[in-house]
Structure 1
Amino acid sequence: MKEVKKFRFIPILLAVILAVFLLLSSVTTIPAGHTGVVTTFGKVSGTVLGEGLHFKLPFITNVVKIDNRVLKTEVSSSSASKDLQTVNSTIALNYRIGRANSASIYQNIGTDFENVLINPAIQECVKSVTAQFTAEELITERQKVGDLMREALAEKIGPYGFDIEVFNITSFEFSEEFNAAIEAKQTAQQNALKAEQDLARIKVEAQQQIEQARAEAESYRLKNQEITQETLAMEWINKWDGKLPSVASDGSMMFDISDIIAAAGSGKSASAPSTPVAPSAPSAASAAAGE
């Protein structure tokens, strides 16, 4: 009897297990930032489930979860520039799948879209754009190069439903010979700039010296002129015997010595002033009054 009861319990246990299995198989959970692509017997039905808990038919429908958050990939590429220099580039791409495009991307590409589409497209865009620029232009026009690469990549992956968030060229690496040539060119440019600045400085200093020399020459000229006038006056005074010309006259006569010195300073001959005119003789009335 006990053995019979044991055998009766086994089917019940199996039924419970099957029921739990069917229940779990009919429930699916879509995490945050994802969508669920529903397939019926392996065929994409076109139904896309949002975040949360959903029910499905066990063994008939399946739900494939697609990540719609920002995804990141980094790709290294080796290509040739316009002047045939080898360029090793590293590209960092942030992209996302639009929720409305989850079903078509899964149907046309699958879940390994990064290796199937994204990375090869980056490689192709890097090679095609790099070939349009010389190695030096890749450095000096890096922003323009990055914009062209991004536009080319958007044309390739955009129609499939991928949106580019951020596109960055993280590095450009060249051969050692090219790096040495760039360094030598930069050194030559710096030396040329320094020489130009030195030449301008020398010109300014020379002009300053010329102006200073002119100012000093003018100062010396004025001093020499002043000294010459004073020297001539002193020489005239030293040569003068101190005698004034005597004139017979019963009136008084005065000489201004400063006029004589001024005349000497102006280079005129050091002669006594001309004989002054004697005062007129007194009138007869004056003589009679005196008597």
Structure 2
Amino acid sequence: MSAPRAAQLLQSLAGAAIAFGVGGSALNASLYTVDGGHRAVLFDRFRGVLDETAGEGTHFLIPVLQKPYIFDIRTRPRSITSVTGTKDLQMVNLTLRVLSRPDSGELPTIFKTLGTDYDDRILPSIGNEVLKAVVAQFNADQLLTERPFVSALVRDALLKRAKDFNLILDDVAITHLSYGAEFSRAVEQKQVAQQEAERSKFVVAKADQERRAAIVRAEGESEAAKLISDATSSAGGGLIELRKIEAAREIASTLAKSRNISYLPGGNNMLLGINPSM
């Protein structure tokens, strides 16, 4: 092969390679891929944001004139922290967990009005707004005793506000609630005072019961003494003698059971005050 012809062949191959490279670059520039769980909004330099969205897969576009913007439409968690005041002017620290996603059918509107960082623009703002509005309706202690009800109110109000911005909330919940140091200390002191009050009530009730029992015992003893006195006065010395005999029997029984005593001294009747003639 002659040199001129070889040079011509090399030039042809170089041109083909250049054409192939340019064609490949143009083809690559005219394709874009949307991953799973995402949607694409196409911006056209002449028509603006197109109303149709592109789903998952590979799609064509006009290079230079059109540009795709990819949106994640999966549910994502977000925490919103707010410091707000209650109805009784106590400061409360609240943390709200929100599971949100954009309305896939309204992505062109979201892109035109809010941009791709729509959640950073909207959720903190409406979250704080709703929390302040709802918490202001309750006293500080009610936020604990009626927490499910408060959480439901926050959820309903936040769902309505998010709908205005084409956002869908799958779940809203209050995950953290704490009070300021002064209020926490006041609550602790109140609980201690209530416990002391309950303890004092118990002590007073116990003392009252003991007093009533003492009165009943005293009344019983007085009644018994009166009955004994009446019986003694009516029976003369017979009752006294009977009690002496009963006491003597008890002493004799006790001594008889003792190992160290084998007989009962005859002089014990003098100690018992029993007449030997009886």
Q: Does 1:139 align with 2:149?
A: no
Secondary structure of the 1:187 match is helix
Q: Does 1:121 align with 2:130?
A: no
> 1:102-113 maps to which residues of 2 (within 5 A)?
102-113=107-118
Equivalence for 1:47: 52
CA contact (8 A) 2:37 2:56 kept: yes
Note the residue ranges of structure 1 that are not aligned, 5 or more in a row: 236-291
CA distance 1:20–1:188, change in 2 (3 Å): same
Query: Sequence identity of aligned pairs in percent?
Result: 28
CA distance 1:92–1:234, change in 2 (3 Å): closer
Shift of 1:61: 3.5
Shift of 1:190: 2.2
CA distance 1:198–1:99, change in 2 (3 Å): farther
Shift of 1:37: 2.1
Q: Does 1:167 align with 2:172?
A: yes
CA distance 1:206–1:69, change in 2 (3 Å): farther
Secondary structure of the 2:164 match is helix
In 1, Cα distance between equivalents of 2:229 and 2:17? 133
CA contact (8 A) 2:30 2:63 kept: yes
Secondary structure of the 1:126 match is helix
In 1, Cα distance between equivalents of 2:57 and 2:228? 104
> 1:50-199 maps to which residues of 2 (within 5 A)?
50-199=55-204
In 1, Cα distance between equivalents of 2:139 and 2:78? 27
1:32 aligned partner, one-letter code:
G
Secondary structure of the 1:77 match is strand
In 2, Cα distance between equivalents of 1:184 and 1:233? 65
In 1, Cα distance between equivalents of 2:132 and 2:240? 97
CA contact (8 A) 2:231 2:239 kept: no
Q: Does 1:26 align with 2:41?
A: no
Shift of 1:181: 0.8
CA distance 1:210–1:109, change in 2 (3 Å): same
In 1, Cα distance between equivalents of 2:86 and 2:13? 77
The C-alpha deviation readout for 1:120-157, integer Å capped at 9, x for no partner, is: 11122222223333333333333333222222222221
Secondary structure of the 1:135 match is coil
Equivalence for 1:17: 21
Shift of 1:101: 2.4
CA distance 1:223–1:25, change in 2 (3 Å): farther
Shift of 1:180: 0.9
CA contact (8 A) 2:83 2:91 kept: yes
CA contact (8 A) 2:42 2:50 kept: yes
2:16 aligned partner, one-letter code:
I
In 1, Cα distance between equivalents of 2:93 and 2:164? 28
Shift of 1:199: 4.9
In 1, Cα distance between equivalents of 2:108 and 2:167? 12
Moved more, 194-203 or 107-116: 194-203
> 1:242-281 maps to which residues of 2 (within 5 A)?
none
Q: How many residues get paired?
A: 236
Shift of 1:169: 2.0
In 1, Cα distance between equivalents of 2:240 and 2:82? 97
CA distance 1:128–1:224, change in 2 (3 Å): same
CA distance 1:233–1:158, change in 2 (3 Å): closer
In 1, Cα distance between equivalents of 2:26 and 2:230? 125
Shift of 1:158: 0.9
